[in-house]
Structure 1
Amino acid sequence: MAKSLLLISRQAPWSGPGAREALDIVLAGGAFDLPIGLLFLDDGVFQLTSGQNAKAVQQKDLSANLQALPMFGVDDLFVCSDSAAERGVAIDTLALADMKALSAPQIAALIDRYDQVITL
């Protein structure tokens, strides 16, 4: 049986390559039927806000990659409710509707459920 993987995305969408790399890893894992989850933590919650203008910073828009997650079998999507609140991001306005909002103690339990954890 394949080991499960949790990827924790902590970077804002345009702060460097980390956000895109995290999505690429998750999409690749999903394509190979790897049991995979994705947690948006810290500034990573900014990846989920709508109305971003990627062209203004000469970057590719990440929203298409986010919308493709379910098509690749990535259904375990999580967002840190504490990180969102600290950054003024309302959970009910996020780009992905099927996310589970978790508090810090719930995130600790989530991490324990996975065999491997990668943080970007």
Structure 2
Amino acid sequence: MAKSLLIITRQAPWSGPGAREALDIVLAGGAFDLPLGMLFLDDGVFQLQAAQQPGQVQQKNLGANLQALPMFGVDDLFVSSVSLAERGIDPHSLSLEVQALDDAALSALVDRYDQVITL
């Protein structure tokens, strides 16, 4: 049986390649039917904001790839409620349906997975 994998993405979509690399890993894992989840933490929560204009900072839009996650079987999507609150982001305004978790639930989430990759 394949080991479960949690990808934690902590970078804003415009701060470098980390956000895209995390998304690429999740999409590749989903294509191979690996049991995996994705957690948006810290500045990674900015990836979930709608109506981004990444072209203004010469970056590619990750929105279409994020919307494709369910088509690749990636349904376990989580976000830190603390990270959202610290950045003034309303959880109801996100571009993707994710489960908001407090710090205690985040700790339990990480423990559920066999392997964790943080980008």
The aligned runs of 1:13-52 (5 Å cut-off) are 13-52=13-52
2:115 counterpart residue number: 116
Quick one: which amino acid aligns to residue 89 of structure 2?
A: V
Report the Cα distance in structure 2 between the residues aligned to 1:75 and 1:43, rounded to whole angstroms.
21
Aligned residue pairs, count = 119
Report the Cα distance in structure 1 between the residues aligned to 2:69 and 2:41, rounded to whole angstroms.
17
The offset of 1:59, in angstroms, is: 1.2
Give the share of equivalent positions with the same residue, in percent.
73
1:62 counterpart residue number: 62
Report the Cα distance in structure 2 between the residues aligned to 1:119 and 1:89, rounded to whole angstroms.
22
Quick one: which amino acid aligns to residue 110 of structure 1?
A: L
The gaps in structure 2 that reach 5 residues or longer are none
1:88 counterpart residue number: 88
List structure 1 segments (4+ residues) > 3 angstroms apart after TM superposition: none
The CA deviation string for residues 76-114 of structure 1, in whole angstroms up to 9 with x for no partner, is: 0000000000000110000102x1100000000000000
The CA deviation string for residues 25-84 of structure 1, in whole angstroms up to 9 with x for no partner, is: 000000000000000000000000011101111111000010000000000000000000
Report the Cα distance in structure 2 between the residues aligned to 1:69 and 1:80, rounded to whole angstroms.
18
TM-score (norm 1): 0.98
Quick one: which amino acid aligns to residue 48 of structure 2?
A: L
The gaps in structure 1 that reach 5 residues or longer are none
Quick one: which amino acid aligns to residue 22 of structure 1?
A: A
Report the Cα distance in structure 1 between the residues aligned to 2:17 and 2:60, rounded to whole angstroms.
11
